[in-house]
Structure 1
Amino acid sequence: MKVRLPSLLYVAVLHQHSTVLPLKSNNKVYFASVKQNQLQGPIPKSLLDLQDLQFLILSQNNFSGQIPSTVCNLKTLELLDLGSNNLNGTIPQCLGEMSGLTVLDLNNNRLSGTINTTFNTENQLNIINLYGNKLKGKVPPSLINCRYLEFLDLDNNELNDTFPSWLGGLPGLKILSLRSNKLHGPISDSRTDNLFAQIQNTEYVADASSGVYANTLIVTTKGLDLELPRVLTTYMIIDLSRNRFEGYLPSIIGDLAGLRMLNLSHNGLEGIIPTSLQHLSVLESLDLSSNKIGGEIPQQLASLTFLAVLNLSHNHLVRCIPKGKQFDTFDNSSYRGNDGLRGLQLSKDCGGDDGVPQATTPVELDDEEEDEGDLISWQAVLMGFGSGLVIGLSIIYIMLSTHYLVCFLRMVVKFEQRIVTTMERHKKRY
C-alpha cells in the first residue's frame, strides 16, 4: 500500500530503526528530520528533491558516501545538519553560495581535502561547524564574507595555517574554536577597529531559534572534554589550544570584555601573562597550561570574581601565587610544573606576610663598589679608634695619677700587638 502525502509539512523519524519515507518531489515538505537513527547508505535522493525544504536534519546516523552537490538546488534551505555520520570526500563548493542557509553543520564525519568552499557576500550563515573531520590546508579567506557568523568551529582537523587574525573583523562572531590543528606562528596583535566586536560586549542576546536545532561545542577544561549544549545562548569563547602557536600573549585579549572561556593551552607561547586580562570581568575559565610563559602571575587577576577554572600548569612562572578572592579556591593542579612558583598550594613558603619572598642570594659587587665599601669600613674603624683614644687617654690619666704604671705598660704592649696583627691581616687581603 502506497502512502500519498501531497500536502505534508513535517517529517520526523526519531530514535527508530527505520528507512526514510518514500517522498515525492511534489510533496510540500518544509521540515525533515531523521536524527539519531541507524540509517545507512548514501543520503536519500528523495530528500534532496524536496524543493520547499527549509530544515534538513540527518545527524547521528550511519550515512556514508559523498555529500551530493544537488543539495545546493534546495533554494529555500535554511538549516543543513549532516553531523555525526560517515560521510567522506570534499565539501561541495556550492554550499557557500546558498543565500538562505543559516546553519551548516558537518561535524564528526570523514570529510577530507581543503575547504574549497567559496562563501559569497550574500550568505546568511550564523553557524559553521566542521569539527572532527580530516580537513587540510588553510582557513578559507572567504569566511570574511560571513558577516552574520556567530559560531565557527574547525576543531580536530589537520588545518595548517598561521593565525587567521582577519576573523576578528567579523562583527557578530561570539565563538571561535580552532583547537587541535596544525596552526602556527604568533597570535597577531593587530589593533584593528571593532576587533571581535561582539566578544568585546559584556551583554549578550539569547538565541531566538525555534528549538529544532541544538548547537553544541566541545571544550577542554583541565584535560577533560566537556560538551556545552545550546552554547550560543550563554557563552563567548576562544579556543586555540593544541596547535603550534608561538610568540607572546597579545595584550589586546584584554579588550574582549565579554569573553567567558579562553583556552590557549598546549602551544609554544612565551613572554608574560599580560595584566590586561584583568579587564575580562566575566571570564569563567582561563587555560594557559603547557606553554613557555614566564614571569609572575599578575596580582590584578584576583579581581576576576567569576573565574571558576584556572590552569597555568607546566610553564615557567616564578615567585608567589596571588592571594585573595578566587585564587584562594584553586588547588595545586592549577600551578604544578612551574619550578619557580611558590605558594601554599604548592607547599612552598613565600616568605613575608605580604607574599613577597625574601632575597636569599648574595649580591655580587663590582670592583668600584667593593673599594667604596672598604672605604666606608675604614671610616668606621677610624671613628671607633677616635672614640677609643679619648677613653684611653682618660684611663691613662687615672692610672698615672694612681701610680698603676706596671698595669699601664702591659696594656700598651697588648694594644701594640693588636695593631700589628690587624695590619698584617689587611695586607693578606690585598
Structure 2
Amino acid sequence: MLSGQLVPHLIANWTQLTLLFIDSNKLTGRIPSEISLLTQLQYLSLSSNQLSGCIPSNIGNLKKLSQLLLSTNHLSGVIPSTIGNITELNGLDLSENYLRGPIPWEVGYLTSLSLVSISSNLLHGPETISIFCNVTSLSLLFIADNKLNGHIPQCLGNITNLKFLFSQGNQFHGGIPKSLCNPCHLHFLDLSKNYLSGVIPTCLENFSNQLSILRLDNNNLHGALHREFCSSSAFKFVDLSHNSLSGVIPSCLGNLSTTLSLLDLSMNQFYGNIPEEALKGDVLQILILHYNEFEGPLPRTLLNCTALQVLDVGNNGLNDSFPHWLDALPQLAVLILSCNHFHGVIGNPTTKIPFPMLRVLDLSNNHFTGHLPENYLLHFTGIINDITPDLDVTYSSDHFVYVYGSSVMLVVKGSDHSVEEILAKPVHSHRLIK
C-alpha cells in the first residue's frame, strides 16, 4: 500500500499519461497543482486516501478528462468553478470530503455528465441543485448529507434519464414537486431526512415498472396513502416513517406482494385494522408499523410471509391473543408486540422448534396473564445458540449496492431503544461501483 505525498516534480514529467489510478492507498498531503500539466489524462482516481487541502483551481486544464474521482479523502475548500471547463467529463465523484460552499454553476455546463456524487460534504446554498436541470444526460445524482436548502426545483424533472436520486440528509423544504415523476427510468428516489411537507404526489403510479426504492422518511409529509401508490409493480423498499401520514392502509398494497421486501410506516398516524389483503407475499422481510393507531387483530395472512425477519407493531392499539401461530415463521428474528392490548394466556408453541431464529422478543405493556411457557424458553434456539441473523435487505444494480437495515423500537427498562443499537446493525449504507 502506497504512502507519503504526491511529488510535484515527478508528476510534472507524466505529461503523456492517460490513466492514473492511485486510489485506496494512504497518500497524504495536497494534490499538487502540477497535476494540471497532465493534459492527456482521461481518467484520474485518487479516491480513498488521506489527501487534504483544496482541489487545485487549475484542474480545469485537464480538458480530456472523462472521470474525476477524489472521494473519501480530507479535501476542503470549495469546488473549483474551473471544473466547468472539463467539457468531456462523464463522472464526477467528490463525496466524503470536507468541501464547503455552494455547488458552482459552471458544473451545470457539463452536458456529458452521467454521474455526480458530492454526498457527505459541507456544501450549502439555496436551490443550488437547479444547476443540474440542464444536464439531461445525468443518470445518477448523489447530493446527500450536506447542508443544501431551499425547495427541490421543478426543473429536476427535465432530467429524463435520471435513474438514481439521493438527496437525503439536507435541509430542503416545501413540497415534493410532481415533476419528479417525469423521469420515467427512475429506480431510486431518496428524499429522506429533510423538511419536506405536503402530500405524496399521486403521480407515483407513473413508476409502475421502474421505481424499486422509495425513501421519504423523516420529513413533515401528511395526508393519506393513496390507492395510486399500489400501482407500482417494482417497489422493493418503501420507507415512509417519521412523518404525519394518516388514514387507513389500502388493502391494494397486496399488489406489491411479489416484490416488496421492506415496508416501514412507523411513527405516523395511520389507523384502522391492518388489512389482511396487504400481507400475502413471501418476499417481505421487514415490516415496521410501530407508533401508529392501528387496532384489531394481527392479520393471519402474515403466515404467508415466510421470509419475514422483523415484525414491529409496537405502540399501537392492537387487540388480540398471543400470536402463537407466528412461531412457524422460519426467519423471524425480531418480534415487537409492546404497548398494545394483547391479552390472555400465551399458551404452548404450535411447532416443535418455535421461533428458531428469534433474537429479540418484546411483549411489554400488554395484558398477558399466566406464565411464559417453558417450552418457549427452552427452544429459543436463535438466542441459545447465539445465531446472529442478517437483518439487512440489499438492492444491487450495475452502479451500486444499497444495503438497508431494520430499525425497530424496543422497550428496555421503560425506555425506547432502536434495535440496531441492540444488534449493532447499520441503518443504511450504499456503495458506488466504479
TM exceeding 0.5: yes
State the alpha-carbon separation in 2 of the partners of residues 119 and 164 from structure 1: 15
After TM superposition, give the deviation of residue 187 of structure 1 in Å. 1.0
Q: Would the aligned equivalents of 1:297 and 1:320 in 2 still touch at CA under 8 Å?
A: no
Larger Rg: 1
Instruction: Give the SS at the match of 1:36.
Output: coil
Q: Would the aligned equivalents of 2:144 and 2:168 in 1 still touch at CA under 8 Å?
A: yes
Q: Does 1:348 align with 2:402?
A: no
Q: Would the aligned equivalents of 2:71 and 2:93 in 1 still touch at CA under 8 Å?
A: yes
Q: Does 1:99 align with 2:136?
A: yes
Q: Does 1:81 align with 2:114?
A: no
Superimposed CA distance per residue, residues 369-423 of structure 1 (whole angstroms, 9 cap, x where no aligned partner):
xxxxxxxxxxxxxxxxxxxxxxxxxxxxxxxxxxxxxxxxxxxxxxxxxxxxxxx
Indicate which of 50, 54, 62 corresponds to 2:86.
50
> 2:341 is matched by which residue type in structure 1?
D
Q: Does 1:157 align with 2:223?
A: no
State the alpha-carbon separation in 2 of the partners of residues 80 and 332 from structure 1: 38
After TM superposition, give the deviation of residue 191 of structure 1 in Å. 7.5
Q: Would the aligned equivalents of 2:41 and 2:62 in 1 still touch at CA under 8 Å?
A: no
Partner of 2:397: none
Superimposed CA distance per residue, residues 39-60 of structure 1 (whole angstroms, 9 cap, x where no aligned partner):
1111022323211100000001
Q: Which runs of 5+ in 2 are unaligned?
A: 1-8, 13-33, 347-360, 372-434
Matches within 5 A, 1:27-46: 27-46=63-82
Matches within 5 A, 1:150-299: 150-170=187-207, 171-190=209-228, 195-199=231-235, 236-257=236-257, 258-299=259-300
Bigger fraction of residues in helix: 1
Superimposed CA distance per residue, residues 226-280 of structure 1 (whole angstroms, 9 cap, x where no aligned partner):
xxxxxxxxxx100000000111011111111200000000001000011113322
Partner of 1:16: 50
Q: Would the aligned equivalents of 1:24 and 1:49 in 2 still touch at CA under 8 Å?
A: yes
> 1:287 is matched by which residue type in structure 2?
I
> 1:348 is matched by which residue type in structure 2?
F
Partner of 2:178: 141
State the alpha-carbon separation in 1 of the partners of residues 111 and 331 from structure 2: 54
Task: Label 1:28 to 1:250 Cα distance change in 2 as closer, same or farther (>3 A).
Answer: same
Task: Label 1:79 to 1:105 Cα distance change in 2 as closer, same or farther (>3 A).
Answer: same
State the alpha-carbon separation in 1 of the partners of residues 71 and 333 from structure 2: 42
TM-score by length of structure 2 reads 0.68
Bigger fraction of residues in strand: 2
State the alpha-carbon separation in 2 of the partners of residues 106 and 331 from structure 1: 34
After TM superposition, give the deviation of residue 281 of structure 1 in Å. 1.9
Task: Label 1:81 to 1:332 Cα distance change in 2 as closer, same or farther (>3 A).
Answer: closer
Partner of 2:39: 6
> 2:368 is matched by which residue type in structure 1?
K
After TM superposition, give the deviation of residue 36 of structure 1 in Å. 1.0
Give the aligned CA root-mean-square deviation in angstroms: 2.3
Task: Label 1:34 to 1:190 Cα distance change in 2 as closer, same or farther (>3 A).
Answer: closer
Q: Would the aligned equivalents of 2:286 and 2:309 in 1 still touch at CA under 8 Å?
A: yes
Q: Would the aligned equivalents of 2:264 and 2:287 in 1 still touch at CA under 8 Å?
A: yes
State the alpha-carbon separation in 1 of the partners of residues 345 and 316 from structure 2: 16
Superimposed CA distance per residue, residues 117-171 of structure 1 (whole angstroms, 9 cap, x where no aligned partner):
4134562111000000010000011111110000000010000111223223213
Task: Label 1:332 to 1:107 Cα distance change in 2 as closer, same or farther (>3 A).
Answer: closer
Instruction: Give the SS at the match of 1:271.
Output: strand
Instruction: Give the SS at the match of 1:52.
Output: coil
- How many residues are paired up? 313
Q: Would the aligned equivalents of 1:265 and 1:291 in 2 still touch at CA under 8 Å?
A: yes
Matches within 5 A, 1:327-366: 334-342=336-344, 344=346, 346=363, 348=368
After TM superposition, give the deviation of residue 340 of structure 1 in Å. 3.8
Percent of aligned pairs with the same residue? 29
Instruction: Give the SS at the match of 2:278.
Output: helix
Q: Would the aligned equivalents of 1:95 and 1:117 in 2 still touch at CA under 8 Å?
A: no
Task: Label 1:342 to 1:303 Cα distance change in 2 as closer, same or farther (>3 A).
Answer: farther
Partner of 1:123: 160
Superimposed CA distance per residue, residues 277-319 of structure 1 (whole angstroms, 9 cap, x where no aligned partner):
3322200000011100000001121121000000000100012
After TM superposition, give the deviation of residue 24 of structure 1 in Å. 3.9
State the alpha-carbon separation in 2 of the partners of residues 103 and 59 from structure 1: 13
Q: Which runs of 5+ in 1 are unaligned?
A: 200-235, 352-430
